[in-house]
Amino acid sequence: MPAQLPVINLMGPTASGKTAVACDLYEHGNFELISVDSALVYQEMDIGTAKPSKAEQQQYPHHLIDIITPLEVYSAAEFVEDACRLIDEIHQRGKIPILVGGTMLYFKALLEGLAENLPSADVAIRAEITAHAEQQGWQAVFEELQRVDPQAGAKFKVSDRQRIIRALEVYRITGKPITKLQAAQPEKMPYRYSFYNYALLPDRVELHRGIELRLKKMWDIGFLNEVKYLMKKYDLSKNLPSARSVGYRQALEFLKNGDENHKSRHEMEEKALFATRQLAKRQYTWLRSLQEAHQFRTYLTMKQAREDLRNLHG
């Protein structure tokens, strides 16, 4: 047993089956589960996030699910703080934490640390940047980033919208380029944890099939009704981080247009499917980047992962 506290990280793209593997481990060992998902933190956003049901959560409790409303913001820095607190508490109970999810930024922040001098997210500033993009186009916003932070402008593409928003947000808050602030951070956080990293990386054809099945189920069980309810209760704006989650963004735009005919609904569902596939593609890219810096064991199938990981008894 290593001197550092063991922590199991189970990563994978959306619809890869990682949650099912984590729940299987929970049944066969002395573990507790921590969600690593930037969408599951939101209360009442259930169907579109493929959140475990209340019954499933009772059987397989997950920390960091349903912790904020859709009007609030949850940053990677807050995740690291919460995750470290929970990891310590779980070990004090004599168990081993399994961190499971697909938000690779959170995993990267946990494994590599964050610059302490980076500010928290600011909803108002993000809304301003998004409004500018809607009026002038993302190319204009990207050119603004290139002017204030040439190093970030050289690294990013116009399509890297979330990264562009964050870089401009940091510059507007601090007056300094995010690349300079990030350069000041330590190479690695001085954690007392020993991370064991596992990734579920199915064949892309299989993954796309799983994504299609998940989305079909999502529409069938009333996802649009969920979004209507959220719009009424919270007056959701597309500028909120919660409303930019895949599926919600497309459904919100569709419902706000008020054109619910069969053709427009089909187009909206196709947009959501494409966006979810793009999310999975980005998750693969993040994972490849993490694998270059950290030791990993990868699996092509859930069966493979289950058979191997059952040797972990906690």
Domain assignments of the chain as residue spans, ordered by start: 5-114+187-205+284-309, 123-183, 220-277
Please state the φ and ψ torsions of residue 196, each to the nearest 5 degrees. Answer: -115, 110
Examine domains 123-183 and 220-277 and report if their fold is the same: no
pLDDT digit string, tens, across residues 268-285? 999 999 999 999 999 999
pLDDT at 7: 94
Lowest mean pLDDT among 150-159, 161-170, 175-184, 225-234: 175-184
CATH match for 123-183 among 1.25.40.80, 1.10.1060.10, 1.10.20.140, 1.10.10.10? 1.10.20.140
Q: Spell 146-183 as b/e; 16+ CB within 10 A means b.
A: eebbeebbeebeeebbebbbbbbbbbeeeeebbbbbbe
* C-alpha 114, offset from chain centre: 16
Q: How confident is the model at residue 174 (pLDDT cuts 50, 70, 90)?
A: confident
At the topology level of CATH, where does 5-114+187-205+284-309 sit?
Rossmann fold (3.40.50)
Q: How confident is the model at residue 119 (pLDDT cuts 50, 70, 90)?
A: confident
Q: Which of 40-44, 73-77, 116-120 has the highest mean pLDDT?
A: 40-44
Q: How confident is the model at residue 190 (pLDDT cuts 50, 70, 90)?
A: very low
Q: How many residues does the chain have?
A: 314
36 forms bridges with which residues in the sheet? 101
Residue 259 has pLDDT above 90, yes or no: no
At the topology level of CATH, where does 220-277 sit?
Helix Hairpins (1.10.287)
pLDDT at 198: 95
What is the arithmetic mean of pLDDT over 165-174? Answer: 90
Instruction: Give the span between the Cα atoms of 163 and 245, in whole angstroms.
Output: 15
Contacts of 272 (CB under 8 A, 6+ apart): 215, 246, 247, 250, 251
Instruction: Name the packing angle between helices 262-293 and 204-220 (round to 10°).
Output: 140
What stretch of H or E contains 32?
Answer: strand 31-36
What is the arithmetic mean of pLDDT over 62-76? Answer: 93
Instruction: Please list the alpha-helical segments (H only) found in 50-203.
Output: 54-59, 76-92, 104-112, 123-136, 138-148, 150-155, 161-174, 178-183
Q: Which of 111-125, 151-165, 188-202 has the highest mean pLDDT?
A: 151-165
Which candidate, 114, 124, 135, places its Cα nearest to that of 165?
Answer: 124
pLDDT at 28: 84
Name the average pLDDT for the chain. Answer: 89
What is the arithmetic mean of pLDDT over 190-210? Answer: 89
Question: pTM of the full predicted structure?
Answer: 0.79
